[in-house]
Every structure is written in structure tokens, then in C-alpha cells.
Amino acid sequence: MADGLPSALGDIGSESIADAGISTADIANSQITNAKLAANAASGTKVSAEFGTIAAGSPTAYGQSVQAGTGTLGAGSDVWVTFGTAFAASPTAVVATPLESLQSLFVETGSINAGSFYVQGETASETFSWIAVGSGRL
């Protein structure tokens, strides 16, 4: 059993994969088909049916949504990122840059709200990607 996974998932070792019709030869030869994955005990609704409804945000709300995009820092080395549609509550937001860019960006503590969040960096015109996951169906 992998650390941190609910016991409902069971052991997803090579034995359980082989039991689902996926052999080590299939894996080595990249011959895993959608039909084989669908029969796997650790796929699709067979796993998701074990979990309850997901809630997130502050205050907590149900029905999760994801929004993502790109941004560019303005002249003050900062920018407010505005979501296309506001979440029902403050989402979780993450910013990222390509590893080779060596940019240092961060989301200001307390700046994430249902409609936007604030990003600061080192220099103007730095570009970044962002993703936000939160409550409220869009």
C-alpha cells in the first residue's frame, strides 16, 4: 500500500495490474489500450466512487472548478490576475514559470479572493502560467 492512499484503493502493485490484463510486457512495449485501462481496478469510476463530494475554499463550498491562464508582470513587477468568472469562494492559486527562466514569482499572502489574486516578481515583463482550483461550478 502506498503511503497516504486510502485503503479503498488497495495495492496497485504489479500483481493487481497483471490481474486486470496488463502484463509487464504490455508496459515495456507501450501496448496498454483504453480497454485494458478501463478494466483496471484502479481506473475511472471504480476509484472515484470510493470518494465523497469534494469541497474547498474559504468559506467551504461544493462543486469544484478549474481556471488557468498566463500573465505578464507590469511595470511595477506585479500584476493582479483576474479570473474569467469569479469562484464561489477563494480558490487555491499557483503560478509557475519554465525552469530555464530562473524567475522568482510569488502570490502575495492574503491576496487570493474569489475574483482575482496578486502576483509579484523580480522584473517587469516576466511571463508566467497560473492555475486556480476552487469552489463553485462555472
What is the pLDDT, as a whole number, of residue 98? Answer: 74
pLDDT along the chain (138 residues), means of 10: 46 46 69 64 44 58 80 91 89 83 81 94 88 76
pTM, rounded to two decimals: 0.54
Burial class (CB in 10 A: 0-12, 13-18, 19+), 8: exposed
How far apart, in whole angstroms, are the C-alpha atoms of residue 37 and residue 54?
A: 24
What is the pLDDT, as a whole number, of residue 15? Answer: 44
Burial class (CB in 10 A: 0-12, 13-18, 19+), 84: exposed
Grid coordinates in use for 92? 487555491
**Structural domains for the chain:** 7-48 (no CATH), 55-135 (2.60.40.3940)
What is the pLDDT, as a whole number, of residue 122? Answer: 86
Q: How far is CA 104 from CA 61, 100, 126, in A?
A: 32, 12, 9
